[in-house]
C-alpha cells in the first residue's frame, strides 16, 4: 500500500484523483487550508502551503511514497515545497499546464506557421529567460503586471524550474491539456459557454483561422496523475487525449448533441474570442506518456457525454 499526499484535491479532477487513489488501496492524505473536508477513508491535514513553518508542523514526522501537488502556481510555492518535502517523499508529481507552451506568453514572436503538436523537449523552464522582478508570491500583482493568462503560464514555468533545478527528489511535471467533463464539477464554465450559446442561438466569437488545441477528460487526467505517482520516470509529461480539435470542431460537436446549428462571429484583431479559440498553435504531443505505458482515450469517444452532462445542468 502506497502512502500518497495530495496537496489541494478539493475540487474537480482533484476530487476524482483522491477517490481513485483511495479506491485503488492507497493510503491517501489530503492537505488543504481546511475549507473542504476530504471523502471518507482519506486522511486530512490542514495548513496553508505558503506558510513554511505551519506546513512543517502539520506534516510532523510523516513521510510519503508520493506527493501529488495540484495547486502549485508560483516559484515561491515550489521553493517551499522543495525544502519541506526533501527527505519526506520518494516522488513528487506537480500538476502543470499546456499553457507553459503558449507562444503568447513566451518571450519572442510566435511562429504563425507552427501547427504540429509540441513535445516536452521543446520547452526547458530552467534555461528560459523569465521576466525579472515579478512580485511572487503576490499572484494578484503578477496578474496586474502581466495579465492573468501570462501570469498563470509564467508562474507554472517558474515553478517547474525550481523543482528541476538541483532536484531534491524524483520529480514529474504533468503538463495537462484543457480539462473537460464532470458536469457541475467543472467550475471553469468553458464548455458550458458553448452549450449555452449554441442552445440559445447566440453567436460564438472565434478567430478567422483558429488553431487546434488539446483536451483531456477529467477522469482521464485523474487516472494519469495517479499512474504517474507510481512510476519511476522523471521530467515533464504532456497529458492529452488523442485527437486535437479547433474551436469550430468543438462547436459542431456541441451543436450535433443539442440538435442545433452554431452561429459564428469572427473576432477582430486584438478582440477577445471564446474559450479554446486560438490564433496560434500549441496542441500537445502525447507520445512520451504513451511510450511510457499510459493509454489515452479519444476525444471523440468522451466529448458527447461531457456535452450532455453540461446540457443537463444548464
The predicted pLDDT at position 186 comes to 85
Q: What is the pLDDT of residues 13-63, one digit of tens each?
A: 899 999 999 999 999 999 999 888 889 999 999 999 999 999 999 999 999
> Is residue 60 exposed (0-12), middle (13-18) or buried (19+ Cβ within 10 Å)?
exposed
pLDDT given at position 35: 81
Secondary structure E strands in 132-188: 171-176, 178-180
Query: How many CA atoms does the CB half-sphere of 163 hold within 13 Å?
Result: 29
CB–CB of 44/30 below 8 Å?
A: yes
- Portion of the chain with pLDDT greater than 90, in percent: 80
Quick one: cell of 82?
522543495
Span 221-235, average pLDDT: 97
pLDDT tens digits for range 65-111: 999 999 999 999 999 999 999 999 999 999 999 999 999 898 776 66
- Residues 226 and 93: their CA atoms lie apart, in Å, by 9
Distances 189 to 12, 70, 95, 97 between C-alpha atoms, Å: 12, 19, 20, 18
Q: What is the pLDDT of residues 53-77, one digit of tens each?
A: 999 999 999 999 999 999 999 999 9
Q: Are 3 and 85 in contact (CB under 8 A)?
A: no
pLDDT at 7 over 70: yes
Residue bearing cell 518571450: 107
pLDDT at residue number 98: 97
Q: What mean pLDDT is reported for the chain?
A: 93
Contact (CB, 8 A) for 6 and 18: yes
**Rounded average pLDDT over 130-154:** 88
pLDDT: which is higher, 46 or 133: 46
Element (H, E) at 128: none
pLDDT of residue 115: 76
| Global confidence as pTM | 0.95
SS3 28: strand
Residues 6+ apart with CB under 8 A from 187: 11, 12
Question: Is the model more confident about 134 or about 42?
Answer: 42
Q: What are phi and psi of 141, to 5 degrees?
A: -70, -40
CA 92 vs CA 4, 134, 168, 205, 225: distances in Å: 10, 26, 9, 40, 11
**Cα dihedral 177→90→56→164 (10° resolution):** -50
CB neighbours of residue 200 within 10 Å: 10
In a 13 Å sphere around the CA of 299, the CA atoms on its Cβ side amount to: 21
Amino acid at each position: 500500500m502506497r502512502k500518497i499526499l495530495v496537496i489541494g484535491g478539493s475540487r474537480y479532477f482533484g476530487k476524482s484523483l483522491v477517490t481513485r487513489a483511495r479506491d485503488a488501496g492507497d493510503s491517501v492524505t489530503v492537505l488543504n487550508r481546511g475549507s473542504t473536508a476530504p471523502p471518507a477513508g482519506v486522511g486530512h491535514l490542514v495548513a496553508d502551503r505558503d506558510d513554511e513553518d505551519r506546513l512543517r508542523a502539520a506534516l510532523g514526522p510523516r513521510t510519503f511514497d508520493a506527493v501529488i501537488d495540484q495547486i502549485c502556481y508560483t516559484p515561491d510555492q515550489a521553493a517551499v515545497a522543495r525544502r519541506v518535502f526533501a527527505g519526506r517523499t520518494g516522488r513528487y508529481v506537480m500538476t502543470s499546464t499546456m499553457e507553459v507552451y503558449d507562444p503568447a506568453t513566451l518571450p519572442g514572436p510566435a511562429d504563425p506557421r507552427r501547427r504540429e503538436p509540441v513535445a516536452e523537449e521543446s520547452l526547458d523552464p530552467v534555461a528560459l529567460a523569465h521576466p525579472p522582478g515579478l512580485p511572487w508570491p503576490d499572484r494578484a500583482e503578477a496578474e496586474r503586471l502581466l495579465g492573468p493568462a501570462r501570469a498563470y503560464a509564467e508562474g507554472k514555468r517558474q515553478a517547474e524550474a525550481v523543482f528541476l533545478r538541483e532536484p531534491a527528489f524524483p520529480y514529474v511535471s504533468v503538463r495537462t491539456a484543457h480539462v473537460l467533463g464532470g458536469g457541475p464539477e467543472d467550475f471553469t464554465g468553458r464548455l458550458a459557454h458553448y452549450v449555452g450559446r449554441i442552445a440559445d442561438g447566440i453567436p460564438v466569437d472565434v478567430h478567422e483561422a483558429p488553431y487546434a488545441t488539446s483536451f483531456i477528460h477529467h477522469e482521464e487526467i485523474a487516472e494519469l496523475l495517479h499512474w504517474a505517482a507510481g512510476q519511476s520516470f522523471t521530467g515533464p509529461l504532456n497529458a492529452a487525449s488523442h485527437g486535437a480539435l479547433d474551436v469550430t470542431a468543438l462547436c459542431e460537436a456541441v451543436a450535433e448533441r443539442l440538435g442545433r446549428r452554431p452561429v459564428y462571429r469572427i473576432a477582430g484583431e486584438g478582440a477577445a474570442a471564446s474559450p479554446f479559440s486560438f490564433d496560434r498553435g500549441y496542441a500537445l504531443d502525447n507520445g512520451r506518456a504513451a511510450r511510457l505505458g499510459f493509454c489515452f482515450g479519444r476525444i471523440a469517444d468522451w466529448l458527447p457525454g461531457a456535452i450532455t452532462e453540461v446540457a443537463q445542468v444548464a
